Every structure is written in C-alpha cells, then in structure tokens.
Chain A
Amino acid sequence: EAGVTQFPSHSVIEKGQTVTLRCDPISGHDNLYWYRRVMGKEIKFLLHFVKESKQDESGMPNNRFLAERTGGTYSTLKVQPAELEDSGVYFCASSPLGVRWYEQYFGPGTRLTVT
C-alpha cells in the first residue's frame, strides 16, 4: 500500500514569492492534516480536512496560507506571499475516519526555505 506522499521534497523561494505544496494521502483516508515544524520548535497543527471539507483550520497562521482539497483526494497548501518566518518543514498526514483517527500516517514532509 502506498504511503502519504508530498511534493516537492524541498523548496527554496524568495520572500514575496508563492509556493504550493501538494499532499497525496493514503487511498481511502478521509482525514487529512497539515502540520508545520519550524526549526527548534514543536510540530504545530495547521488544519484538518474530512474529505473535501475543512473541519478545523484554527492553526493556520494567517490569510497568506490557503489549503484546498478538491474532490476529497489530494490537498494543496499555498503560501502567498511567502515570508521569512514561513520557513520550516510542512508535514501532511492522513488517517481513516472513526476511533482510530489518531493513527496518523505522515508524509516525508516538504522542507521550505524562504530567503
């Protein structure tokens, strides 16, 4: 079974540019989560989709971040315009619906560097 995949693995952009990260969850997993880890800090929750619906986006830092999950399959996270403090590793995770929602399978992450 294929795991969670993320693209790109690395991205280096200049301040003010736009970047779009993509996540393909495990097939059949309706829950999809985005997290971010800034160097030296804890992993932080960004948002949670159930199928194509945003269930909780309380962790999104500001309106420069936009997440979508059209059709309830893959998801994208766009940062526009990027700022220096957006640098970090962005993880996507997926899990099935139900009581085992917390068994989240993580992708390898996208390492974003804003210069």
Chain B
Amino acid sequence: RKEVEQDPGPFNVPEGATVAFNCTYSNSASQSFFWYRQDCRKEPKLLMSVYSSGNEDGRFTAQLNRASQYISLLIRDSKLSDSATYLCVVTWPSAGNNRKLIWGLGTSLAVNP
C-alpha cells in the first residue's frame, strides 16, 4: 500500500465548477497534513495546511478525517489559474525528534474556459 495515495486524475472541469480531491494515508502516526500545488515543470509550493477542524482559505477548503486517515481539498468557483497538480503531503516521525514530509503522487487539474 502506498504511503500517501491520491487519484492522479486528470480532472477536467469548466471554469466556475467546484472540484474535490481526496487523499488517504497509511501511517496512523502521521501528525501534520498539507496540500502543495505544483505547476507544470515548476517547484511545489505550499497551498495550505489541513487542520482537524477543517479550514478554509478563500475558495479552498481542506478537511481531515483522522479516523479514516483521509484528507480532502475542495476548490470552489474554479479559475483557469487553478490548473496545476495538487500534492497531498503528510508528516511522519523520523530520526530523533525530526519529522519528514511524505508525498502523494499528485492529482492533476485542468480548468477549461
């Protein structure tokens, strides 16, 4: 089983649509959760953290379900500029007091005019 699993897509949606991505993680000891965004042939950039109570940042809403080891990202009123790959990332305990980021493969989104 993959450590962080995402549907790779691609998701093709029209402008203005609402789209949701899901992600599951295998390690119940995972402590923190994030969505990163990666544009084509560019570096990943942190989009938002995911909190247990759920959190919203403009058109983006992230949810976490620890019992099901499941994370989601909802994008409302999609814009052309939202076209990118969305990477689900969790932290695992590692050597000493360290933690490291464990990455999903990413979900590709294409927003069409």
Contact = CB atoms under 8 A, between A and B. Distances in A.
A91 B43 contact: yes
A109 B38 CA distance: 12
A104 B4 contact: no
B43 A58 contact: no
A106 B100 contact: no
A64 interface: no
- Secondary structure dominating the interface of B: strand
A67 B58 CA distance: 40
A104 B101 contact: yes
Interface residues of B, number: 24
Interface string B86-105: 01000100111011111111
Interface of A: 33, 41-45, 48, 55-56, 58-59, 91, 101-104, 106-109
Nearest to B3: A42
Interface of B: 2, 4, 32, 34, 42-46, 49, 87, 91, 94-96, 98-106
B98 A43 contact: no
Contact of A45 (B46, B100, B105): B100
B43 A56 contact: no
19 contacts: A33-B101, A41-B105, A42-B104, A42-B105, A44-B103, A45-B100, A48-B100, A55-B96, A56-B100, A58-B95, A58-B100, A59-B100, A102-B32, A102-B34, A102-B101, A106-B44, A106-B45, A107-B43, A109-B43
Nearest to B96: A55
A1 B87 CA distance: 26
Contact of A103 (B46, B100, B106): B46
B98 A56 contact: yes
A107 B46 CA distance: 13
Contacts of A104: 46, 101
Contacts of A109: 43
B98 A48 contact: yes
B52 to A, nearest CB: 16
A45 B44 contact: no
Given A55-B98, A56-B94, A106-B43, 12 more contacts: A41-B105, A42-B2, A42-B105, A43-B87, A45-B102, A48-B100, A58-B100, A91-B43, A101-B99, A102-B99, A104-B101, A107-B43
